[in-house]
Amino acid sequence: MIALLEQVNFWHWIAFGLVLLLLELLGTAGYLLWLGLSALLVGAILSVIPMSWSLQWLTFAVFSLFSTWLWWRYQHQKDRVDDQARTLNQRTEQVIGQTCVLDQPLPVSQGRIRLGDTSWLAKTDKPLEAGTLVEVVAVEGITLVVQAKQ
């Protein structure tokens, strides 16, 4: 077995990397991408610098782990930023900017407005008459902050 491992040259690593990249095309969601690129990198290094078989596999493992870790860090940071901007399944965030016409007067303290098919608690900084077009400008807990639309 050791004799077989000692015969591995850079062409084997390049072929291994290309096979991994082709398998990635089958839809493995990026799992084989970094392994394939690492194998290609080991093949490129091996074409210039002779290495023992154990050093080749160690280099492949280090490149694979490092490139996978870098991609995970990048993707994790991007996902966190995307999650903060997402309003999916956050109904209170989705109503910001929506408008409706008041069907009853809204006092300065709290009252109720009808937005879509739901009745919401709402508050405003000045009293609004029935029939006024209002816009939701913020949400405080489950209370909508509205103001007259200009």
**pLDDT (tens place) for every residue of the chain, 150 residues total:** 778 878 889 999 999 999 999 999 998 888 899 999 999 999 999 999 999 999 999 999 999 999 999 999 998 888 787 766 666 666 777 888 899 999 889 988 788 999 888 889 999 988 899 889 999 999 888 899 999 987
Tokens encoding 72: 């995970």
Distance CA 108, CA 49 (A): 78
State both tokens at 39.
Answer: 């194998």
Residue 131 tokens, joined: 């029939």
Q: Which single residue is written with the structure tokens 């491992």? A: 5
Which residues, at least 6 apart from 2, have a Cβ–Cβ distance to it below 8 Å?
53
pTM: 0.57
